Every structure is written in C-alpha cells, then in structure tokens.
C-alpha cells in the first residue's frame, strides 16, 4: 500500500468530516500518480489515479469534491456496468469509453450540486448533455 500525498490525505479528511459513512471507500482507494492526467480517476480495481499538478490548481475543498465524485463512480459500480453494456475502451486509463464516462459523470455531478459540493472548473451535468435529471448513465 502506498502512502497518499498530503493534499490527498487532507481532501479525504475534509470529505469525511461531513460524510463519515464514506470512510471505508475513501481509504480503500489506492493512489497511483499519473502526471499529465489533469484530474483524478478510478478504475474497477479501486485504484485512484491522480495528477499531482491538480494539488496546486484546486482548493482543498474542490479536491475533496472530486474525491467524492470518484467514490461515486465506485459505489455505483460504473466500471462493471460499462462492461455489461460493452462501453469499455482499454486504451482509456480507467478502461471505460469517454462517452460512458461523461454519461456516468452527469448524474454524479447532479447529486453533488444538490449537496453544494465544491468542484473545480466546468463539469458535466445532465443539462449540459441535453438530458433530464434523474436518469442513470445507461
């Protein structure tokens, strides 16, 4: 098990202060450094890929929000569901197609907006995809 960088540890603690029920998921992810990724990402093996550059670009609360977002992918079993419908792309870091990832991002981000969770920059929502709220990625 590798030790997470300090900003990631701080983000975990910030997230868990308000949502302690996410503790098992937040600490189960194994951090893997991926310079140039530009964000965080997870795969079906609960590896958390991170670009260390985001630690200087995002506020700690935003990093915690993105961490919450990635936990959302894991808890909703998005990788397994992508495999079930053939939305996989092994050339992608996390193994799912870009279209599937956006479709999966939208309901997560919609839920995070409803909780007033800080996220950095622009992000996908159902409205930005021209879709109504309340739908699944499929």
Residue 2 above 90 pLDDT? no
Q: What is the mean pLDDT of residues 67-91?
A: 90
Instruction: State whether the Cα torsion 81-84-85-90 is positive or negative.
Output: positive
Cα 83 to chain centroid distance, Å, stands at 18
Cα 128 to chain centroid distance, Å, stands at 18
Whole-number pLDDT of residue 22: 97
Which pTM was predicted?
0.93
Residue 111 above 80 pLDDT? yes
Whole-number pLDDT of residue 4: 84
Residue 1 above 80 pLDDT? no
Q: Is 79 exposed, middle or buried (0-12, 13-18, 19+ CB in 10 A)?
A: buried
92 falls in which pLDDT band (50, 70, 90)?
low
Q: What is the mean pLDDT of residues 64-90?
A: 92
């Amino acid at each position: 098990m590798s030790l997470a960088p300090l900003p990631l540890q701080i983000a975990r603690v910030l997230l868990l202060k308000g949502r302690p029920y996410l503790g098992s998921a937040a600490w189960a992810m194994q951090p893997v450094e991926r310079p140039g990724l530009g964000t965080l990402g997870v795969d079906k093996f609960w590896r958390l890929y991170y670009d260390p550059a985001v630690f200087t670009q995002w506020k700690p609360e935003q990093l915690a929000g993105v961490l919450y977002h990635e936990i959302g992918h894991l808890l909703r079993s998005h990788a397994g569901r992508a495999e079930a419908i053939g939305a996989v792309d092994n050339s992608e870091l996390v193994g799912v197609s870009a279209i599937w990832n956006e479709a999966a991002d939208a309901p997560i981000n919609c839920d995070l907006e409803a909780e007033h969770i800080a996220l950095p920059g622009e992000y996908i929502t159902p409205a930005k995809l021209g879709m109504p709220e309340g739908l699944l990625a499929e």
